[in-house]
Amino acid sequence: MDTMHADLLVIGFGKGGKTLAATMGRAGKRVVMVERSAQMYGGTCINTGCVPTKALIHRASERPDGADPAKWYAESVASTAALTAVMRGKNFRMLDTLDSVTVVTGTAAFLDDHRVEVVAGDDRLEITADTIVINTGATNVIPDVPGLRDSAHLVTGTELIASPEMPGRLTVLGAGYQGLEFAAMLRRYGTEVTVLESTARILPREDDDVARAMRDILQDEGITFVTSAHVTRVEDRDGAAVVHYEQDGAAATVTADAVLAATGRAPRTDGLRLEAAGVRTTARGAVEVDEHLRTSRPHIFALGDVNGGPQFTYVSLDDHRIAADQLLGEGRRSTADRVAVPYTLFTTPPLARVGLTETEARAAGRSVRVAAKAIADIMAMPRASIVGDTRGLMKFVIDAETDAILGAALLSVDAQELVNTVALAMRSGTTASTLRDSIWTHPSSTEAFNEVLATVVR
Ligand SMILES: Cc1cc2nc3c(=O)[nH]c(=O)nc-3n(C[C@H](O)[C@H](O)[C@H](O)COP(=O)(O)OP(=O)(O)OC[C@H]3O[C@@H](n4cnc5c(N)ncnc54)[C@H](O)[C@@H]3O)c2cc1C
Ligand SMILES: NC(=O)c1ccc[n+]([C@@H]2O[C@H](COP(=O)([O-])OP(=O)(O)OC[C@H]3O[C@@H](n4cnc5c(N)ncnc54)[C@H](O)[C@@H]3O)[C@@H](O)[C@H]2O)c1
């Protein structure tokens, strides 16, 4: 077996790991990056996650008049694959062009707490390292429904976006991030979409009025929602999947060409042999880390989805800042520093959120004022009419005593950009009144803040 030594060994080409590898490589450290697949250089986000899904969502609304939906879908899948190939190449070169960094393609597993074995076909390589970073991401959970795993029609998002064939009928299990984004996107291409959600309503963590506004928009686009759905079994029949479910005790079925499992993503630790390194996992299967992202073996870090934190690319990126500060800096940065981390669900229009919901703020005993307005009623936001989408609402949750912004839900065109301004305001202690009375460009979406924040509705 060949052997190598590194100052830093990174397992998994994810956002946090690759950024840390580049930072450490530029600082002159000997770095080895191990990635199991050449198709995954750059990780989930650019290859199978954020980038391809958002590219497909964007193109769904761009279909030229009269174009055949299935043909447009196949073209969109092909152009998205071309885009991810370019990004994959750039990601590979970002590391490969650094003299002190080596990219190894193969699957890594621990031999002990300083030694890792990498297997690629018949080839085996042993790497010893002073510091090791686990950045192996997460995998889609397939719910334990009889017949589902054996169905020829079961797909994950990764498989769905790789196939040029647009499903005529799609059943989505789960109305979370993946479920709603894929449902909204495929409906726009022309697919008949049914979403089965096990809880009582979609977006169970959001306020009722926000979840209802989202459901109304997606239902108007033609998506069927079944909430409180208990999926009991799946059977393949006549070239399709028949999904059996119960709602309020009544049995029903929906027939689909594809059944998408969008019921969560679990940290990927299988095959890593963490026990050989003495690295502990949590009850939920994540690699256990402290606030500096060190595992139970302090020279081994875990970054990104695998450590059980919020599953977003920018959180993995921030994980890299914490690890870099431990390895090269003053060691002060920690996960406790994170305030007002925003997130966006990329439906059309998108729903962006930051901070507390109204329900959470009231449950926490805060004295709350709410400012909210439907986009169609906001006079000071002509941008929505200019781009032709006046659906949705903006809602701010404000501390009645201090005027601090506690949270916001922005279901609106440009929400994925707007939310970053609100998050910055929250982090810097900028009050709701300051945001209300600020000068914003025109015609923009941000100027809606002038009007929405002037309206304390209850
Ligand atoms: C469909 C979809 C859409 C998403 N959209 C968004 C979005 O819009 N915005 C957002 O912020 N987040 C989004 N996410 C979440 C985001 O993609 C993840 O949070 C992020 O990519 C996690 O990055 P990571 O650093 O944890 O590792 P990953 O990017 O997941 O990388 C892990 C890498 O490790 C490799 N690996 C695994 N095991 C081994 C091993 N034993 N040996 C060697 N290599 C191994 C894998 O092949 C993979 O390349 C989306 C996710 C999905 C699935
Ligand atoms: N735009 C983004 O930032 C983006 C996009 C996609 C994914 N992601 C990340 O990936 C993570 C995983 O996404 P996800 O949508 O798979 O998970 P999720 O946790 O967001 O949603 C899963 C949904 O499935 C439901 N569910 C669970 N079991 C079910 C069953 N048997 N039948 C029906 N419904 C069931 C849950 O109640 C929940 O509503 C997200 O939490 C997010 O962090 C982010």
pLDDT digits (tens, 9 = 90+) for 144-155: 999 999 999 999
227 and 286 both lie in a single domain: no
| Ligand 1 lined by 179 (C-beta under 6 Å) | no
Specify which residues 107 forms β-bridges with: 119
Rg (CA), the chain: 24
Tell me, what DSSP letter sits at residue 270?
A: T
CATH of the domain at 135: 3.50.50.60
Name the residue of 148, 158, 177 whose CB sits within 8 Å of the most ligand 2 atoms, as the mutation to test its pocket: 177
Q: What is the pLDDT of residue 1?
A: 80
Average pLDDT on 189-207 reads 96
* Closest to 27 in 3D by CA, of 121, 98, 126: 98
At 360, which CATH number?
A: 3.30.390.30
Residue of 139, 160, 263 to test ligand 2 pocket, by largest number of atoms within 8 Å of CB: 263
For residue 136, CA distances in Å to 108, 109, 210, 288, 427 come to: 10, 11, 34, 14, 30
pLDDT in the model for residue 295: 98
Q: Is residue 147 part of a domain?
A: no
Ligand 2 binding pocket includes 175 (Cβ within 6 Å) = yes
Is 409 a residue whose pLDDT tops 50?
A: yes
Was 18 annotated as part of a binding site? no
Of the candidates 94, 70, 93, the one whose C-alpha atom is nearest the C-alpha of residue 22 is: 94
Same domain, 226 and 87: no
- Residue 45: CB within 6 Å of ligand 1? yes
Q: For residue 458, what pLDDT is reported?
A: 45
State pLDDT tens for residues 68-82. 999 999 999 999 999
What ipTM was reported for this prediction? Answer: 0.98
Number of domains the chain is built from: 3
The pLDDT of residue 215 is above 80? yes
Res 456: pLDDT: 79
Residues paired with 336 in a beta bridge = none
Tokens of 126: 């042993």
Last residue of a domain, one of 216, 239, 263: 263
Estimate to the nearest angstrom the gap between the alpha carbon of 231 and the chain centroid.
Answer: 24
pTM of the predicted model as reported, rounded to 2 decimal places: 0.97
Give the mean model confidence (pLDDT) for residues 25-48. 98
> How confident is the model over 109-162, as pLDDT tens digits?
999 999 999 999 999 999 999 999 999 999 999 999 999 999 999 999 999 999
What average pLDDT is seen over the chain? 97
Beta carbons of 411 and 349 less than 8 angstroms apart:
yes
Query: If you measure from the C-alpha of residue 203 to the centroid of ligand 2, how many angstroms do you get, rounded to a whole number?
Result: 9
CA of 160 to the centre of ligand 1 (A): 16
Range of the domain at 270: 2-140+266-337
Is 149 inside a domain boundary?
A: no
Question: Do 228 and 287 lie in a common domain?
Answer: no
So which residues are the catalytic ones?
442
Of residues 162, 161, 194, 164, the one with CA closest to residue 179: 194
Q: Which ligand is in closest contact with the Cα of 347?
A: 2
